[in-house]
């Protein structure tokens, strides 16, 4: 009897151990390395380049790691290779590199909604998004789960609701101007937070041991309440957020809604950095960072004379357009900038610059309008002194926006200026570079601009920051009618949330591509030479900041 009890006890213990072993969570046998890119903006040969990125991925894989390569959006727009192929060349290159997953940024939609869905079908990798929807219905899976050594890792896609105004709002509307596509936007951010939380909870319920957010949110003040910090602080269950949109390389560790630490990592733009997240096999510890390319004169493929399938694919993608783009079309005797020449910080979205003046002057010259505006977010790169190629012009205005002219009251112009400076001293893509007028902005006053839940302009509800506006040297008359030139993105389609002019009478619609407007002004009005009139990098005093009360 005692012998039988001993056998039964031993079997019980053995079965108990077996049960414990079966219930124990699987462990990684090899490290997982997630490589990520954000805001490539067609920089296929910049920094590491796609060729260097592919070799980096292969090196980690050959070293025995599990490797996942993901992109966080804004990859298909920004340079001629994107503009001239409507994104197709970029998708083909991402296929060749071997991306595993992608989410969309605001600029994935710059070629129109129909075109974006066409490009998504061309991709050999899935797009994921927990918040891009049509009338409330998600258009892509909210997440993808990858499994390594029995361990499940979920990748959740998140796109900033600011996309509705930082891409072309018209693309998200029906023929009657009603928004049918959205990103779960709301004044408080709650709808976005709930969408993210729902995706995270579902991934966890599906057995995900780790949840990684692939985000296009950024850190810009004008993106609140949709910044990465807003989302992390109002959700739980995310282990790490790989983030883009603001082009930073910041590493942040912050607490989520439950007081747990979440890693957030940016990786810059144009492949100057490749982000990474490592999950250790030994203890599951996570480490995030960015590998930076610090050789601005050479990309990786050029410096190391790489000859791979990817370098050859890049050559094929660009060969047809290189000759035309390399043509010298003008010359500049001064450097035209989007950055502060002292600090190197981008200022075209918060202050006047000489390139901003040039671009706005081009719109006024070609249109003959009283006033011209160009949004700082639409002026993308500086122009160095010396020869200017067609490619240089195209890089300044890569979006393919079209010149338009409308009639507007002085009051509408005042409202547009007030909207443009609402984020100062912070950046705002809708900050206006101007021609034909001058004004002061009293930055010591808080902005009283009112936006709706879609981040579209509603009105000004208090004291104004913009003062002493002069048109052609005379004080602006709020009751008078002026002609205003800009592009369809802002005047007609509500770009950057500007709804002020969309219902006005338009005298000219879709006249000329934005880059052609600039080229025409430089070659015709300036006879192909940009000279001393634009020498001051801070412009000629059209926009004056008053930082203290008089």
d(CA 503, CA 510): 16
Contact 42, 88 (CB under 8 A): no
Tokens 């001293």, residue?
425
| Average pLDDT, integer, range 300-309 | 88
> Does 341 have pLDDT greater than 70?
yes
- Asked if pLDDT for residue 16 goes beyond 60, the answer is no
Over residues 211-237, the pLDDT tens digits come to: 999 999 999 888 899 999 999 999 999
Q: How far apart are CA 270 and CA 44, in angstroms?
A: 8
**C-alpha separations of 525 from 70, 222, 366, 471 in Å:** 46, 36, 9, 21
Residues facing 253 on adjacent strands: 263
The whole-number pLDDT of residue 77 equals: 87
Percent of the chain predicted with pLDDT > 90: 79
Tokens of 370: 């009283």
Report, as an integer, the average pLDDT of 201-208.
98
Task: Report helix angle 309-325 to 88-97, nearest 10.
Answer: 160
DSSP string, 426-475: S--TTPEEEESEEEEEETTSPP-EEE-TTS-EEEE-S--SEEEEEETTEE
**Mean pLDDT, range 130-134, rounded to an integer:** 98
Q: What is d(CA 358, CA 433) in angstroms, rounded to the nearest whole number?
A: 9
pLDDT for res 405: 94
Model confidence at 24, pLDDT cuts 50, 70, 90, reads low
Q: Which residues contact 294 (CB under 8 A, 6 or more apart)?
A: none
Query: Of all residues in the chain, what percent carry a pLDDT higher than 70?
Result: 95
**Is 80 a residue whose pLDDT tops 90?**
no
Mean pLDDT, range 171-181, rounded to an integer? 91
Q: Enumerate the β-bridge partners of residue 47.
A: none
Over range 78-98, report the average pLDDT.
89
Of 164-168, 181-185, 412-416, the range with the lowest mean pLDDT is 164-168
Average pLDDT, the chain: 91
How high is the pLDDT of residue 320?
67
pLDDT digits (tens, 9 = 90+) for 151-166: 999 999 999 999 987 7
- 464-503 pLDDT, tens per residue? 999 999 999 999 999 999 999 999 999 999 999 999 999 9
**Do residues 241 and 262 lie in contact, with contact meaning Cβ atoms separated by under 8 Å?**
yes
Confidence of residue 18 (pLDDT cuts 50, 70, 90): very low
pTM greater than 0.85 (yes/no): no
Distance of CA 226 to the CA centre of its chain: 13
Q: Assess whether pLDDT exceeds 90 at residue 273.
A: yes
| Spatial separation of the C-alpha atoms in residues 64 and 66, rounded to whole Å | 7
pLDDT at 305: 87
Q: Considering just the CA atoms, what is the radius of gyration of the chain in Å? A: 26
State the pLDDT confidence band at 22, using cuts at 50, 70 and 90: very low
């Amino acid at each position: 009897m005692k012998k039988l009890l001993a056998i039964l006890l031993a079997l019980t213990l053995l079965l108990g151990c077996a049960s414990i072993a079966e219930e124990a969570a699987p462990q990684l046998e090899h490290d997982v390395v997630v490589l990520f890119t954000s805001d490539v903006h067609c920089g296929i040969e910049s920094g590491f380049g796609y060729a260097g990125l592919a070799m980096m991925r292969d090196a980690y894989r050959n070293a025995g790691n599990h490797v996942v390569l993901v992109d966080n959006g804004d990859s298909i727009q920004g340079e001629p290779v994107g503009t001239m192929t409507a994104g197709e060349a970029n998708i083909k290159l991402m296929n060749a590199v071997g991306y595993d997953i992608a989410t969309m940024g605001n600029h994935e939609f710059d070629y129109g909604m129909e075109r974006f869905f066409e490009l998504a079908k061309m991709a050999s990798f899935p797009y994921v998004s927990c918040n891009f929807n049509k009338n409330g219905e998600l258009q892509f899976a909210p997440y993808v789960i990858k499994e390594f050594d029995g361990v499940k890792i979920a990748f959740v896609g998140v796109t900033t609701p600011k996309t509705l105004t930082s891409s072309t709002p018209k693309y998200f509307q029906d023929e009657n101007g009603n928004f049918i596509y959205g990103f779960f936007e709301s004044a408080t951010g709650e709808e976005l937070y709930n969408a993210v939380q729902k995706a995270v909870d579902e991934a966890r319920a599906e057995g995900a041991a780790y949840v990684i957010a692939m985000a296009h949110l950024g850190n810009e003040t004008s993106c609140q309440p949709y910044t990465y910090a807003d989302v992390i602080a109002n959700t739980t269950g995310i282990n790490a957020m790989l983030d883009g949109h603001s082009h930073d390389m910041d590493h942040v560790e912050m607490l989520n809604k439950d007081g747990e630490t979440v890693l957030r990592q940016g990786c810059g733009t144009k492949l100057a950095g490749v982000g990474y997240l490592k999950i250790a096999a030994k203890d599951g510890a996570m480490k995030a960072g960015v590998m930076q390319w610090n050789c601005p004169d050479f990309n990786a493929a050029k410096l190391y004379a790489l000859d791979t399938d990817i370098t050859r694919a890049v050559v094929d993608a660009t060969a047809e357009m290189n000759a035309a783009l390399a043509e010298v079309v003008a010359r500049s005797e001064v450097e035209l900038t989007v950055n502060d020449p002292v600090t190197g910080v981008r200022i075209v979205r918060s202050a006047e610059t000489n390139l901003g003046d040039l671009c706005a002057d081009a719109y006024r010259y070609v249109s003959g309008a009283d006033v011209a505006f160009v949004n700082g977010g639409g002026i993308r790169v500086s122009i160095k002194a010396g020869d200017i190629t067609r490619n240089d012009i195209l890089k300044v205005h890569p979006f393919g926006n079209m010149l338009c002219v409308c009639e507007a009251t002085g009051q509408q112009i005042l409202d547009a200026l007030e909207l443009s400076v609402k984020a100062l001293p912070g950046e705002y893509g809708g900050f206006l570079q101007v021609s034909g007028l001058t004004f002061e902005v009293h930055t010591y006053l808080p902005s009283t601009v009112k936006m709706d839940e879609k981040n579209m302009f509603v009105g000004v509800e208090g004291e104004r920051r913009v003062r002493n506006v002069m048109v052609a040297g005379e004080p602006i008359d709020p009751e008078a009618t002026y002609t205003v030139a800009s592009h369809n993105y802002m005047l007609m389609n509500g770009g950057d949330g500007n709804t002020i002019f969309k219902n006005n009478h338009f005298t000219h619609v879709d006249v000329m591509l934005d880059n052609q407007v600039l080229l025409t002004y430089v070659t015709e009005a300036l006879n192909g030479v940009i000279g001393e009139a634009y020498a001051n990098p801070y412009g000629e005093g059209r926009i004056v900041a008053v930082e203290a009360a008089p």
